[in-house]
């Protein structure tokens, strides 16, 4: 990828961060105010997916 394309991708990433920041900030505020935050219910499936992707990458390298 050329340097011009990298600059464009960086600018796009910054724009996306500015677009999603208000929603992410509100979501973080709501999660702090939740009575019973059940993070294990969300983290376990995400962790399984991450481990599966790592497994697939290791499999593809061999």
Q: What is the pTM of this model?
A: 0.42
Q: Report the pLDDT value the prediction gives residue 35, as an integer from 0 to 100.
A: 66
Q: Please tell me the predicted confidence (pLDDT) of residue 26.
A: 85
Q: Which residues of the chain have pLDDT under 70?
A: 34-37
CA distance to 20, 32, 45, 48, per residue, from 25 (Å): 9, 11, 23, 26
Rounded Cα distance between 25 and 4, Å, is 31
């Amino acid at each position: 990828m050329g340097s011009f394309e990298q600059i464009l991708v960086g600018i796009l990433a910054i724009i996306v961060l500015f677009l999603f920041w208000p929603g992410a900030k509100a979501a973080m505020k709501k999660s702090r105010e939740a009575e019973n935050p059940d993070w294990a219910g969300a983290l376990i499936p995400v962790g399984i997916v991450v481990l599966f992707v790592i497994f697939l990458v290791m499999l593809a390298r061999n």
